[in-house]
Chain A
Amino acid sequence: MKFAARRLAHAALLLLAVSFAAFAFAQLAPGDYYSDLRVDSRISPETLEGLRQQAGLHRPFLARYGAWLGSAARGDFGYSLAYSGPVAPLLKERIRNTLLLTGVATAVAWFLAVPIGIWSATRRGVVEAALKVVLAVLLIVPDLLLAILLLVFAVETGWFPAGGMNSPDFASMSAAGRLRDTAWRLVLPVSVLVAGMLPVLVRHVRASMAETLDAPFVLAARAHGISPSRRLFRHVLPVAANPLIGLAGLSLGTLLSASLLVEVVMGWPGLGPLLVDAILSRDIAVVLAAVVLSAGFLIAGNAAADLALYRVDPRIRAR
């Protein structure tokens, strides 16, 4: 339990440091939301200054950080000057959508990668070689291009809706209808993300399996007459799973980055498009919140992976 406490404290401190740095960096940025308005000659400097005062942009740095931190802790991420509304509700919805997308993509990717990896660790031959080629192709084609191609495909065939998370008549659908609608719209973005993740995951599963299968204890199990399936599930997989938990933690960052681009291209209303739009409209509060939240996910995800690893791998506990 001490390990868990320390690990979580470490995560919290890291997040705090990131938020501080982000806030500081944001303040250093030349100009703010109102700077671009300055170009508009219809708005007088006094009005601008008044707006600034209203938004509290004149207070000293640490005071502002403290205020921001306090509100953030309560779930209030300030006021979006571009959307003219509080940031938090916006974030909540977008985060939920991103989590949905990345969560489903992760599940599908692992669901496919594990059996494929296990299977290919033990076979040679034409099919396995073909598999390697397919995976290599998936690795090379950039996510961006794949996303665009799938969109074109969607438009051409009309099989899938091109972009957006909900159909226009979403609100009037039944619960089952809504589920189907969302699921259908998830297919394309999830496919792009899975295509990006699959090659790496399969390679690691395959390597981990191959290494474990070679281990002396597996040979011993075989010599003891333990059946192949029992060997696989009781002896091999638990050990092979170990480095994969670490991998899950590491690949989270890549997944979030990939998801950002996919969300923007395919019109999935997640954290990504929110951040990009906020940057383009100089909406500092939103940018800050989105950046800090993305860090929050990654830090939390890594901490979770570390904790899982700690529970699963007795060797780490011994250290």
Chain B
Amino acid sequence: MQSWRIRLALLLLATAHFAALGAGFLAPYDYDDQHRDYPYAPPMRLHLQGVRPVVYGLESQGGEYRENSDQKYPLRFLTGRRLFGVDEPGVYFVLGTDGYGRDVLSRLLYGGRISLLTGLLAATLSLAIGWILGTIAGFFGGLADQILMRISEFFMALPWLYLLLAVRAFLPLHMDPVGAFVLLIAIIGGVGWVRPARLIRGVVLSGKERSFVLAARGFGGGAVYLIRRHILPLTIGVTLTQATILIPQYILAEVGLSFLGLGVGEPAPSWGNMLAEARQYHALVLHPWLLAPGAAAIPVLFAYLLLADTTLEMSQNPRQLR
């Protein structure tokens, strides 16, 4: 019954990630290809010449853009290492350009790579740390548990975004894109392990009291065996649910940080720093296509929401294991 929701969600996610990972192939331009003659160009349409799709020439007149139907540039496929494009001096901006004349679609795809991957990798980091610490605290109890509780209280004493910014504040402001990418993953992931840890700790705590664990202990099972064979399967449900909640949250964290200028910086695109152009909202009124990253995020967030709901339902009905 819920399977159509899962399938839809997975389809959306697969499409988004495939598009982002394949940016190098799918995007018609490089992310820092500037077309000085065409700042803030609007999205361009395809026209049909017979059965072949063509793009008209783009002309700018004092800030306004017009199509020149006398200049036709046929759409070419598999040019060089790109899926599609038009020959020079023609241009094809599917979603228009930004203030520097850079193709929004291309930057959207390349930017998606950063934003989506940051979310995924940071969530993996949080879950890994959270799982390890939560399992140790829950299983061995005692001092380890006390320490975990105190530390987690401490982390939860700050509002999440303030905590993120606090950590970010004391690190170098300007970094190269790769460094910034790694840094973001480390910060976002390293700061958000607390909730998964507590949840997993809870599951492990109640799990280790179950009689089949006690029985296995009675046969001489050691901690590693018990955790691996009996406790770990119990934690899968909660870990999955946490993943579906954390990943979108972390994607938005990257977007937020980059938007504020504290994440990935120019010229590398991320959905966040692309939206930063929108801070000049007067410009936005005239050039709404700059909001494309925001629109692109929505189906991704929706997909994760669907997954979250279904994994939550599934974990509340454990007997319905397929």
Name A residues whose Cβ lies closer than 8 Å to a Cβ of B.
14-15, 17-18, 21-22, 25-26, 28-30, 136, 139-142, 144-145, 148-149, 151-152, 155-156, 162, 252-258, 260-261, 264-265, 275-276, 278-280, 282, 287, 290-291, 294-295, 297-299
Contacts and interface: CB of A to CB of B under 8 A. Distances in A.
B162 A294 contact: yes
Interface string B149-188: 0000110111111100111111111000000000000000
Contact of B154 (A21, A25, A275): A21
Contacts of A252: 159
A142 B284 contact: no
B298 interface: yes
Interface string B117-153: 0000000000000000000000000000000000001
A29 B171 contact: yes
Interface in B44-77: none
B297 A145 contact: yes
A142 B255 contact: yes
B294 A287 contact: no
Contact of B170 (A28, A149, A265, A295): A28
B282 A298 contact: no
A142 B294 contact: yes
B288 interface: yes
B291 A298 contact: no
A96 B165 CA distance: 21
A155 to B, nearest CB: 5
Nearest to A141: B298
A253 B260 contact: no
Contact of A261 (B173, B256, B261): B256
Given A18-B154, A148-B281, A260 B255 contact: no
A255 B159 CA distance: 8
Contact of B281 (A21, A26, A152, A291): A152
Interface string B279-322: 10110110010010011011001100100000000000000000
B142 to A, nearest CB: 21
Interface residues of B, number: 41
B5 to A, nearest CB: 12
Given A155-B282, A155-B285, A156-B285, A279 B262 contact: yes
B264 interface: no
B172 A30 contact: yes
B252 interface: yes
Interface in B242-285: 252, 255-256, 259-262, 275, 278-279, 281-282, 284-285
Given A152-B285, A152-B288, A298-B158, A276 B255 contact: no
A142 B281 contact: no
A253 B154 contact: no
Q: Which 4 interchain pairs have the tightest Cβ spacing?
A: A29-B170, A257-B161, A256-B159, A145-B294
A151 B171 contact: no
A299 B156 CA distance: 9
A142 B297 contact: yes
B170 A144 contact: no
Given A144-B259, A275-B165, A276-B260, 17 more contacts: A17-B157, A21-B154, A25-B166, A28-B170, A141-B298, A142-B294, A145-B297, A152-B284, A155-B285, A257-B159, A257-B161, A264-B260, A278-B169, A279-B262, A291-B162, A291-B165, A295-B159
A275 B282 contact: no
Contacts of A26: 169-170
